[in-house]
Amino acid sequence: MVVGLAVVLLCQLVGEIFAYLTHLPIPAAVVGLVLLFGFFLVRDRWEWLPFSLRSEEIDKTCETLVQQMALLFVPAGVGIVQRLGILQANVLGVLAIIVVTTAISITVTAFTFRLVSRWFPAPAEGQE
Amino acid sequence: MTTMDGLWTHLSGGALFWLTLTLVVYTVADRLSLLVQRNPLANPVLHSVWVIGTILMLSGTPYQTYFDGAYFIHFLLGPATVALALPLYENRRVVLRSLVPIVVALIVGSVTTIGSVIICAVLFDLPAMITISSLPKSATSGVAMGISQSVGGDASLTAIIVVATGIAGAVMATPLLNLLRITDRRARGFAVGLAAHGVGTARAFQVHPLTGTFAGVAMSLNGLMTAILVPLAASLIGG
C-alpha cells in the first residue's frame, strides 16, 4: 500500500511540476496518469528495477483507488448546502445544465463513437 | 447537558467525526445500492450527499468545518485519477484498436457538452458566474475546479455542478443508452465517462470492466480536452 501510494503521488507531483513550469492547460492528475501508464509499460522489461517497484502492490493500490472513486466525490458534493441560495434562484437553468446537457452529451458521444467505429471497424472483441 | 454540548463542540471541531461520518454514510448507501442490484437510482454518492448535507444543516455546522474534516477523502481524487492508468494499461490493446472512434467521439462530445451549456445559459438567462462555473461540468472535480478558477469561475460552485452532473449521468446512463439501442460496451462506457467523469466511471465499472475502462479513458481524455476548450469558450462568451 505504501509503495503504491508513493508511486501514484510521485506521478501526480511530477505532473504538478510539469503543469506549473510549462503553463500548459494540462491537469496535473492527467499528466500523472500518462506517467504511471508509461511506468507500467516499462516495468516488466526493466529487470534492474528494485523489487518493491515491480511488486503487485502498486496494482493493488490503483485498483482500490479506482474501485472507491465514487466515495471521493462526496465531500465536494456536500458543498451544495453552501450554495442553495444561488441555485434556488436559478433552479430551472441549473437543472437544465445538470440533466439536459448531460443527456445530450451522453447521446451525442455514444452515437459518434458507434458511427465512427463502423467506418473504422476494430476486431470484434469490443462488441457484445 | 452541558457535558453533551461540550462533547459535541469538541467532536464537531475535529476531522475524526466528519471523516467517520462520511465513510459510515457512504458505506450504508453503497450497501443499500448493492441490495437493490445496483439500481441507478440508488446511487451512493447522491444519497450520501443529501444525508450529510441534512446533518450539517440540522446541526448548524458550517460547510467549511465539514470540508476541513473530510478533506483527506477529497484529496484522494487526484491520486484516483492517476490510478486510472492501471485499467488503461490492462486494456491497452482494446483501447488502441478503437483509437479513431475515441479521438473523434472525444472532440465531438467535449465540444457538444460545452456548447450545450452555453445554449442552456442563454435560454434560461443564467448569471455569468453560473455559466462560467458550469463550463467544465463534465471534467472530474479536481480538474474542473482548477479550470474554473483559471477562467474566473467559482470553484466551489463548479464542484457542486460537477458532482451533480456525475450523479445525473450515472443515474440516467443505463436507461438512456438502452433507449438509444447502443449495445457496444465501448461506446456506452466512453459516453458515460466523457459526460459524467468519475461518478459515471464508477457506475460503468459496476456494469462491466470493459465499459468501466472506456469510461476511465474518456474521463481522463476529457479532463485534458476540457482544460483546452473551456478557456477558449470563456473568452468567446466574455466578449
pLDDT at B143: 84
Rg (CA), chain A: 21
Measure the CA–CA gap between A6 and A60, rounded to whole angstroms: 13
What are the tens digits of pLDDT across the range A26-73?
A: 788 888 999 999 999 998 787 777 777 777 889 999 999 988 888 999
CB A3 within 8 A of CB A53: yes
Domain total in chain A: 2
Output the nine-digit C-alpha cell for A55. Answer: 511488486
Q: Answer whether B169 sits within 8 Å of A106, measured CB to CB.
A: yes
Q: To the nearest whole percent, how much of chain B has pLDDT over 90?
A: 71
* Residue B7 DSSP SS3: helix
Question: Are A62 and A18 within one domain?
Answer: yes
Output the nine-digit C-alpha cell for B73. Answer: 477523502
Give me the residues of B, 165-204, that contact A with CB < 8 A: 165-169, 172-173, 176-177, 180, 182-188, 190-192, 194-196, 198-199, 201-203
Does the pLDDT value for residue B219 go beyond 70? yes
Residue A5: give the domain boundaries.
Answer: 1-67
Q: Answer whether B67 sits within 8 Å of A80, measured CB to CB.
A: no
Question: Are A100 and A44 within one domain?
Answer: no
B17 Cβ contact partners less than 8 Å away, ≥ 6 residues apart: B11, B69
Measure the CA–CA gap between B138 and B24, rounded to whole angstroms: 28
Domain end residue (candidates: A32, A67, A102): A67
Beta strand residue intervals within B113-166, DSSP E = none
Give me the residues of A, 41-70, that contact B with CB < 8 A: 41, 59, 61-63, 65-70
Question: Are A58 and A7 within one domain?
Answer: yes
The ipTM of this complex is 0.89
* Residue A1 DSSP SS3: coil
Query: Chain-wide mean pLDDT for chain B?
Result: 92
Query: Chain-wide mean pLDDT for chain A?
Result: 88
Output the nine-digit C-alpha cell for B75. Answer: 484529496
Question: Are A24 and A2 within one domain?
Answer: yes
What are the tens digits of pLDDT across the range B88-101?
A: 898 888 888 999 99
- What is the pTM (predicted TM-score) of this model? 0.87
Average pLDDT over residues B156-163: 92
Question: Are A61 and A17 within one domain?
Answer: yes
Average pLDDT over residues B115-139: 95
Question: Are A1 and A60 within one domain?
Answer: yes
Q: Where residue B147 falls among pLDDT bands split at 50, 70, 90?
A: confident
Question: Are A61 and A98 within one domain?
Answer: no
Domain end residue (candidates: A67, A83, A98): A67
